[in-house]
Amino acid sequence: MTRPRILSARDILEIDRRSLIAGSAAAGAAALLGGVPALADDKPVTAIMPGPFIPDAVRLLIEKKAATKVENAPYVSPTDTLAKLLAPGGTSRYDLMISVTPFVRNPILGAKSGDEKVAPLDLSLIPNAVKIMDLFKPDIITRDGKTYMLPVVWGYDSVIYNADKIPPEDSLTQSWGVLFDDKYAGHIAWRDDAHGMILTAGLHLGMSDPAALSASDLKKVTGFLTEKKKNVRTMWSTFGSAVSLMSSGEVWAMYGWIPMRAALQKRGMNVTNNWPKEGLLIWSQGAFIPKDSPNAKASHAVINAYLDTEVGKTLAAETNYPTTSAEISGAFSPEERRKLGLDIVERGVKVYPLKFPTAMDQWLEAWNTVKSA
Amino acid sequence: MSMVSATTDFPRPAATTRAPRAARNPWKAAVVIYAAAFYCFLYGPIAIIALLSFNKSEVTGLPFLGATTHWYHVVFSRPDLMAALFNSISLGLLSGAMATTIAFLLGLAFRRGFFGQRVVLGLVLLPILMPGIIGGIVLLIFFGYLGIRPGLYSTVLVAHVNWVLPFVFLTLNARLQGLDRAMEEAAADLGARTHQVMWRVVLPIIRPALIATLLFSFSLSFDEFIRTLFVIGYDRTIPVVFWIAIVERLSPELPAMAVITVLISTAGSLLGFAFSARSRIKNS
């Protein structure tokens, strides 16, 4: 939930007065010193990040540890985040962005050195960066020896299922096949998303790197999905509709997200997720600072706060989303670690990173073919 | 003396013939059924949402587990929802007032006529013709070039005025075009100065139309979502809160919030209609 913000006329006048003073001081200081605006540290960090990454309890902790307020704009999608960064003025409009690492990596770096839309991170201001798990160190984005993005939150997509209807120990349950097999026809839901569904179908069909499908493989996956569509009760596209489908009993299993599992369990349902033997889809979301942000120092502090152990524990407890800090695992019992998925490396769970295909347009076309079949 | 005979032939009234029973029109029943289905399709979802707002269930949806007003208490006790409601109402009033003022001045100019009037008309109507998402992107780029950060009473207010102005202008311009110049000329002949003609003649006549337009624009602004999403920062409006609630979490109080929103929006529109009708009656 966002913090309440009610502006009175006095607030508006105060903001205008403050802006005028800040602007004048900035102009004067910049003229004299050529440096950063004097009142930058008083400004809140204007951020774009998924709302579930900053529930109230986490917000309070982060703001305390970073000694700055965080004001997050509504998060729409990685595409929208990039659009807002790349639009004119985008590199100074926001101070911090957190979005899906593989999707934003190339656009924010640009084609070559010097094209970056983001500022290099000063790791001396992010001492908690050393705590990042080995599993996500490849998601630390660098170029020419400079770090531009750090993974701060991670998660996984899997099958969320009702354990009262579907036995957990069944080999079908512990695979992506539960979304496709005829056994649960009429009681499954797919996500209306080309990327996730084609990846899972590719994994289920035994393709080792489904993000790099050839044209013939894509055709094979499309045919498979079209054939299995008859087993699908419906497709969901929002969090609310997905959770409603499970909680009403309309579906017993669906492609799902971590917080869906948490929401359904909070309502007393015997719902859990599987650990697909073909490969759990894992992802990380990275934090980066637009290159012309006037509040970069505070943004560094916020990133550092996200990698703090206490913040990681709180976020995992509130939303089940872990941060990429390796230290939070120790804060939970073995049973909780297993439930949250913090022990996937120890357990040897096969994982597949949620990579984005180069031919996403073909995937979208394929998915439309499936939907219209 | 002649007696009237019983057999005197008084002119007998023509044999009364009963009017033939009106032929039943089979199409009338079909029209009634079609209309009923149409209204059900149109208003059925709203009725179901209203029903669900009183549902005891933690999940938004059927079955109905019992009546409760709990979700309305939740809505009114959530500071973020109340803040968003305040933001939407204040934005609606401000954008309505600004758009009505601009549209009024534009209408006066159009009444007088000026060079390039058609081009200006096209520009004013452009936001209606553009898809919302394109409008949002355009505004995002526009504010980016100006270096203006997202803010409720800066970028969002401008986006809302931009959206409601065409509707306000079309409504108000029609009214101004129909205003009889003889009234103004008579006032001028009697010695009224220009500002007095405006203040004492024109404004009183079109006041109901102005109020109606203000209320219409309030409704439009209150419901505006897609352009807002591109230019809003930390603050929230009601549609944005709704959208976040649907995509990020499960909020059983959402139907209650929806009912409140529909009531506010409908009240604005109905008041607008009432003032508009009053204006037409007064000037007919």
Lowest mean per-residue pLDDT among A22-36, A128-142, B66-80:
A22-36
Task: Please name the residue of chain B whose CA is at the shortest distance from the CA of residue A259.
Answer: B249
Instruction: Provide the shortest C-alpha distance from residue A138 to chain B (in Å).
Output: 28
Instruction: Provide the shortest C-alpha distance from residue A133 to chain B (in Å).
Output: 26
Tokens 């295909």, residue?
Answer: A357
Tokens 């709990």, residue?
Answer: B70
Of B265 and A75, the structure prediction assigns the larger pLDDT to: A75
Does a cis peptide bond (omega within 30 degrees of 0) precede residue A167? no
Instruction: Provide the shortest C-alpha distance from residue A288 to chain B (in Å).
Output: 18
Name chain A contacts of B236, Cβ cutoff 8 Å: 2, 5, 74
Name chain A contacts of B247, Cβ cutoff 8 Å: 238-240
The chain B residues in contact with chain A (CB within 8 A) are: 58-62, 78-80, 82-83, 86-87, 137, 140-141, 143-150, 152-153, 229-230, 232-236, 240, 243-251, 254
Instruction: Provide the shortest C-alpha distance from residue A285 to chain B (in Å).
Output: 16
Q: Which of A356-360, B112-116, B162-166, B259-263 has the highest mean pLDDT?
A: B162-166
Please tell me the number of Cα atoms within 13 Å of A1 on its side-chain side: 15
Residue (of B137, B159, B169) closest to B237 by Cα position: B159
Q: What is the pTM of this model?
A: 0.81
Mutate to test the interface with A, among B139, B140, B145, B157 (most CBs of A within 10 A): B140
Q: How far apart are CA A156 and CA A203, in angstroms?
A: 15
Summarize pLDDT for A185-207 with one digit per residue, the tens: 999 999 999 999 999 999 999 99
Q: What pLDDT score was predicted for residue B3?
A: 45
Of B60 and B149, the structure prediction assigns the larger pLDDT to: B149
Measure the CA dihedral B220/B226/B231/B236, to 10°.
70
Residue B261 reports pLDDT greater than 70: yes
* A 225-284 → B contacts, CB under 8 A: 238-241, 243-244, 247-248, 259, 263, 267
Residue count of chain B, please give it: 284
Q: What pLDDT score was predicted for residue B17?
A: 57
Mutate to test the interface with B, among A3, A6, A160, A318 (most CBs of B within 10 A): A6
Average pLDDT, chain B: 87
Q: What pLDDT score was predicted for residue B266?
A: 85
> Are B270 and A263 contacting, i.e. CB atoms less than 8 angstroms apart?
no
Contact B61 A244 (CB under 8 A): yes
Of B181 and B119, the structure prediction assigns the larger pLDDT to: B119
> Are A273 and A173 contacting, i.e. CB atoms less than 8 angstroms apart?
no
Average pLDDT, chain A: 88
Name chain A contacts of B76, Cβ cutoff 8 Å: none
User: Could you count the other beta carbons within 10 Å of the beta carbon of residue A37?
Assistant: 18
Task: Please name the residue of chain A whose CA is at the shortest distance from the CA of residue B244.
Answer: A74
Interface A:B, Cβ pairs < 8 A: 106
Task: Please name the residue of chain B whose CA is at the shortest distance from the CA of residue A44.
Answer: B234
Please tell me the number of Cα atoms within 13 Å of A301 on its side-chain side: 17
Summarize pLDDT for A21-72 with one digit per residue, the tens: 444 444 444 434 433 333 445 789 999 999 999 999 999 999 999 999 999 9
Lowest mean per-residue pLDDT among A223-227, A275-279, B76-80:
B76-80
Q: What pLDDT score was predicted for residue B58?
A: 76
> Are A257 and A320 contacting, i.e. CB atoms less than 8 angstroms apart?
no
Q: Which CATH superfamily is domain B70-283 in?
A: MetI-like (1.10.3720.10)
What mean pLDDT comes out for the span A286-305?
97
Contact A239 B243 (CB under 8 A): no
Query: Residue B72 CA to chain centroid, in angstroms?
Result: 25
Per domain, the residue ranges of chain B are 29-68, 70-283
Contact A51 B248 (CB under 8 A): yes
What mean pLDDT comes out for the span B71-100?
93
Q: What percent of chain A has pLDDT over 70?
A: 89
Name chain B contacts of A81, Cβ cutoff 8 Å: none
Residue (of A231, A281, A253) closest to A170 by Cα position: A253
Residue A123 reports pLDDT greater than 60: yes
Name chain A contacts of B93, Cβ cutoff 8 Å: none
Q: What pLDDT score was predicted for residue B282?
A: 63
What mean pLDDT comes out for the span B257-269?
87
Lowest mean per-residue pLDDT among A107-121, A153-167, A284-298, A348-362:
A348-362
